[in-house]
């Protein structure tokens, strides 16, 4: 960490004297793959909006097979360019993120970006998490910044709060502070789990998470209780992970998820992400758990239900889900999601 800071100071000094110093040290292309993650104890609410400082801590699982792959190389002109069809909002977010991280690292080079998700975008499947994590990893590699994990996590957080967790795989904790970053707390190998993503809505969500968080914080009578009861959920989830206590993790995660949605539903105007199939699946998962199947649900800012289970239960759950009307499709993945980076 100390070495990295010195390196940054030296880099910025040299950059003033020799403007091309960054480019001499950098690679010509960098490709990064980062996975989406789902929070079991959620980040919902911002302590500072511009910097995506979370008002709460969070604990997440990396989803091995839901990934964004992003390549960065130098743009030929004096503008950032994209190889990929991005809607206006996504393009603006990517551009303002690039401007910000370039400024932080005294880099002026314009970039050409190619990016693809292997899962639906903007529907509550954490595409912003994998997207900004992959972009941060590629940026770090292209310019050979050699950032420590905590600083990469901080960089990704500037794009989206949950992206701070996607720079690692496995079980990850996001620690709130005035410059919040995430740390890995368990590997996928320590506790193999499966996640079944039940897609109940393929269309993009009506309201994005930042806007929804602000509306909730400003208008829900339950937002204060959400904040004040959050630390107990964090303690309980981390304990359950250390002890591999599936029942405790199930109870804590469902409770935390429903509290988060309660603040949304009670905001003005209300934010209701659920579809009828979302609710049906919640009932189904609870019934399965009551009859001994190790499974629980969680839902983020969208209609999709993520079912976390022991791998021995995956097939049974998939079979049960077939009866749900309104279920569009399922994606099954294991816990994992370590990022990968290549340069040339
Ligand atoms: O990082 P954002 O702005 O997409 O917000 C993520 C919010 C939730 O997915 C609902 C919760 C979480 O911790 O990921």
3-class secondary-structure state, position 121: coil
Q: Residue ranges of the domains in the chain?
A: 5-187, 194-334
Q: How confident is the model at residue 23 (pLDDT cuts 50, 70, 90)?
A: low
| Percent of the chain predicted with pLDDT > 70 | 92
Distance separating alpha carbons of residues 3 and 276, to the nearest angstrom:
53
- Ligand 1, atom nearest to 37 Cα: 14
3-class secondary-structure state, position 55: coil
Q: Would you say the CATH fold of 194-334 matches that of 5-187? A: no
Q: Which residue has the tokens 């994606």?
A: 331
- Ligand 1, atom nearest to 38 Cα: 14
- Alpha helices (H) along the chain: 2-17, 21-25, 88-104, 127-142, 149-159, 209-219, 223-228, 230-243, 246-265, 276-290, 314-321
pLDDT exceeds cutoff 70 at 158: yes
pTM over 0.85: yes
| Cβ < 6 A, ligand 1 pocket | 39, 42-44, 58, 128-129, 160-162, 209-210, 300-301
Q: How confident is the model at residue 12 (pLDDT cuts 50, 70, 90)?
A: very low
What are 73-82's pLDDT values in tens digits?
Answer: 999 999 999 9
CB under 8 Å to 241, separation ≥6 — which residues?
59, 171, 185, 186, 191, 249
What are 93-102's pLDDT values in tens digits?
Answer: 999 999 999 9
Fold classification of 5-187 is: Ribosomal Protein S5; domain 2 (3.30.230)
* Cβ contact 58:176 at 8 Å: no
Q: What is the pLDDT of residue 205?
A: 85
Please give the CATH superfamily to which domain 194-334 belongs.
GHMP kinase, C-terminal domain (3.30.70.890)
Q: Rounded to the nearest whole angstrom, what is the distance from the C-alpha of residue 75 to the centroid of ligand 1?
A: 31
Q: What is the pLDDT of residue 124?
A: 62
What are 317-344's pLDDT values in tens digits?
Answer: 999 999 999 999 999 999 999 999 999 9
């Amino acid at each position: 960490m100390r070495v990295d800071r010195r390196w940054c100071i030296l880099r910025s000094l040299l950059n003033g004297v020799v403007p091309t110093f960054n480019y001499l040290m950098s690679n010509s292309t960098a490709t990064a793959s980062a996975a989406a993650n789902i929070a079991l104890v959620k980040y919902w609410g911002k302590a500072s909006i511009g910097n995506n400082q979370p008002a709460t801590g969070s604990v997440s699982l990396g989803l091995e097979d839901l990934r964004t792959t992003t390549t960065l190389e130098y743009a030929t002109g004096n503008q950032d360019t994209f190889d990929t069809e991005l809607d206006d909002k996504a393009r603006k977010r990517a551009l303002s993120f690039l401007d910000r991280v370039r400024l932080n690292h005294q880099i002026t080079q314009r970039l050409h970006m190619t990016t693809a998700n292997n899962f639906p975008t903007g529907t509550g499947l954490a595409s912003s998490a994998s997207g900004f994590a992959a972009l941060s990893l590629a940026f770090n590699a292209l310019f050979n910044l050699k950032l420590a994990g905590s600083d990469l996590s901080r960089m990704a957080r500037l794009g989206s709060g949950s992206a701070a967790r996607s720079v690692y795989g496995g079980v990850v904790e996001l620690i709130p502070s005035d410059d919040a970053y995430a740390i890995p707390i368990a590997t996928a190998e320590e506790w193999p789990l499966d996640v079944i993503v039940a897609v109940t809505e393929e269309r993009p969500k009506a309201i994005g998470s930042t806007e929804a968080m602000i509306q909730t914080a400003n208008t829900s009578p339950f937002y204060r209780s959400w904040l004040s009861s959050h630390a107990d959920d964090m303690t309980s989830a981390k304990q359950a992970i250390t002890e591999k206590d599936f029942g405790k993790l199930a109870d804590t995660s469902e409770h935390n998820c429903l509290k988060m949605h309660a603040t949304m539903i009670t905001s003005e105007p209300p934010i209701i992400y659920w579809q009828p199939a979302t609710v049906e699946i919640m009932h189904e998962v609870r019934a399965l758990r009551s009859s001994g199947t190790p499974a629980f649900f969680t839902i983020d800012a969208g209609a999709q239900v993520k079912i976390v289970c022991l791998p021995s239960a995956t097939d049974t759950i998939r079979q049960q889900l077939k009866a749900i009307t309104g279920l569009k499709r399922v994606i099954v993945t294991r816990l994992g999601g370590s990022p990968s980076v290549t340069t040339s």
